[in-house]
């Protein structure tokens, strides 16, 4: 009887000891998991945040959580990518972690779009949210996490939410670890617009000091920015115009007389509400020095004009097997319009300049360029 009692007590002690070990393991594993950022679903300011029995019980204003985008915008088009930087600031703290999400509502749980970490940021994707793989070391109480978000295929308004914690680095999750939410940031996704540059499209010869029409077609674009490249489109350092009504489809550009001549110019037109939507000239055009039309060789064997003199319209017909670029100039050598003829093509000109304004009566010159050749024909407009 005494032996049985002793054995029973031994079994009970073994069971209790085992239970204690299991509970300790679960607690330790839970703590480790929190340190490794396995918790998600913390970004709503109606949740308990990080105060779920591990860090401080409530949000702290000492922790500043902020967000910036690489292009300065929080608007993009469907299926486009935005890159963000989340910053956590808290003086005196040593390490930090985060939970980042984009949701369909300010407090709901439905993910939208696709989050991804930038290389080497110490983030991982869990349940559609980004969280830290391990506490990230802060520098002077500050740390950043960079990540991207691919917008969904459906236009709409969505919400970037995040929470950041700043810890004391003692390897223990306690009330000394502070946290706070990011102010909910609205992301606007629009239906992808479109732009196509129709002039200059490449091959044009535009003189310094002359006026030329930059034209385009667009859909779903409100205002646009027009930029200029002189290196074949590698960079666009010059803004020709901004906040241009895209529906106009035309901007009359007065080329600066001091603009450097060159043969690698391109135009770029960008949707100002979504810089991911843009278009460029299909090929390079040239900026040239103005020359007196009287210095040109007079010949009309490459094309013919009729009627000439003209009162209401004049037709140009190509007589060559090459494309002809035709520049109409006044007696002062200023370009009034441009026409391109394909081999054997005939086009009618309504005697208007690039802005659509009817030209006054007078003498004009049609200068043609083809196969590296240049020729000139006099045109008379009678009113």
DSSP string over 138-185: PBTTEEEEEEEEE--SS-EEEEEEEEEEEE-SSSS-STT-EEEEPPPE
| Cα–Cα dist 133/135, whole Å | 7
Are 335 and 327 contacting, i.e. CB atoms less than 8 angstroms apart? Answer: yes
For the ranges 86-90, 135-139, 208-212, 252-256, the lowest mean pLDDT is seen at 208-212
For residue 31, with 0-12 CB atoms within 10 Å meaning exposed, 13-18 middle and 19 or more buried, which class applies?
Answer: middle
The whole-number pLDDT of residue 52 equals: 63
Bigger pLDDT: 108 or 24? 108
Are 95 and 169 contacting, i.e. CB atoms less than 8 angstroms apart? Answer: yes
Instruction: Give the residue-averaged pLDDT of 267-278.
Output: 91
3-class secondary-structure state, position 227? strand
For the ranges 229-243, 246-260, 362-376, the lowest mean pLDDT is seen at 362-376
pLDDT digits (tens, 9 = 90+) for 307-349: 989 999 999 888 878 888 888 988 877 888 988 888 888 999 9
Instruction: Dig out the tokens for 349 from the structure.
Output: 């000109």
Q: 250 forms bridges with which residues in the sheet?
A: 215
Q: What's the chain's average pLDDT?
A: 85
> Residue 282's pLDDT band (boundaries 50, 70, 90)?
very high
Dihedral pair phi/psi, residue 29, rounded to 5°: -65, -35
The whole-number pLDDT of residue 160 equals: 98
Instruction: Dig out the tokens for 307 from the structure.
Output: 């009627």
Q: Can you give the pTM of this predicted structure?
A: 0.54
pLDDT digits (tens, 9 = 90+) for 176-195: 889 999 999 999 998 888 99
| Cα–Cα dist 52/40, whole Å | 12
pLDDT at 33 over 90: no
For the ranges 154-163, 276-285, 293-302, the lowest mean pLDDT is seen at 293-302
pLDDT at 132 over 60: yes
pLDDT digits (tens, 9 = 90+) for 235-245: 999 999 999 99
| Cα–Cα dist 253/281, whole Å | 15
Dihedral pair phi/psi, residue 34, rounded to 5°: -65, -40
Tally of CA atoms within 13 A in the half-sphere of 142 that contains its CB: 5
Instruction: Give the residue-averaged pLDDT of 146-161.
Output: 96
**Which structural domains are found in the chain, ordered by start?**
64-190 (2.60.40.4060), 194-288 (2.60.40.10), 293-381 (2.60.40.3080)
């Amino acid at each position: 009887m005494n032996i049985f009692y002793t054995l029973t007590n031994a079994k009970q002690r073994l069971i209790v000891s085992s239970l204690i070990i299991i509970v300790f393991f679960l607690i330790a594993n839970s703590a480790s998991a929190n340190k490794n950022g396995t918790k998600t679903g913390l970004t709503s300011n109606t949740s308990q945040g990080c105060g779920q029995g591990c860090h401080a019980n409530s949000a702290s204003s000492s922790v500043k959580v902020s967000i910036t985008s690489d292009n300065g915008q929080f608007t993009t088009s469907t299926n486009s990518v935005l890159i963000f930087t989340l910053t956590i600031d808290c003086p005196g703290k040593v390490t930090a972690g985060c939970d980042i999400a984009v949701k369909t509502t300010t407090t709901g749980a439905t993910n939208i779009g696709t989050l991804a970490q930038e290389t080497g940021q110490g983030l991982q994707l869990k349940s559609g949210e980004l969280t830290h793989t391990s506490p990230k070391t802060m520098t002077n109480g500050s740390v950043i996490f960079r990540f991207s978000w691919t917008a969904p295929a459906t236009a709409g308004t969505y919400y970037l939410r995040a929470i950041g914690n700043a810890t004391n680095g003692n390897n223990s999750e306690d009330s000394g670890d502070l946290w706070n939410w990011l102010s909910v940031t609205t992301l606007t996704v629009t239906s992808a617009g479109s732009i196509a540059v129709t002039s200059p499209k490449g091959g044009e010869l535009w003189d310094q000091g002359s006026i030329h029409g930059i034209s385009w077609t667009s859909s779903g674009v409100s205002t646009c920015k027009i930029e200029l490249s002189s290196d074949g489109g590698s960079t666009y350092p010059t803004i020709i115009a901004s906040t241009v009504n895209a529906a106009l489809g035309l901007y009359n550009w007065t080329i600066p007389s001091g603009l450097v001549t060159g043969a690698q110019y391109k135009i770029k037109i960008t949707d100002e509400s979504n810089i991911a939507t843009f278009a460029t000239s299909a090929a390079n055009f040239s900026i040239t020095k103005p020359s007196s039309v009287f210095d040109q060789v007079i010949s009309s064997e490459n094309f013919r004009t009729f009627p000439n003199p003209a009162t209401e319209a004049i037709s140009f017909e190509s007589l060559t097997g090459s494309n002809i670029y035709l520049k109409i100039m006044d007696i002062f050598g200023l370009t009034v319009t441009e026409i391109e003829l394909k081999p054997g093509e005939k086009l009618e000109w309504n005697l208007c300049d690039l802005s659509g304004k009817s030209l006054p009566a007078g003498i004009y010159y049609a200068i043609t360029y083809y196969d590296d050749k240049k020729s000139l024909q006099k045109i008379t407009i009678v009113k």
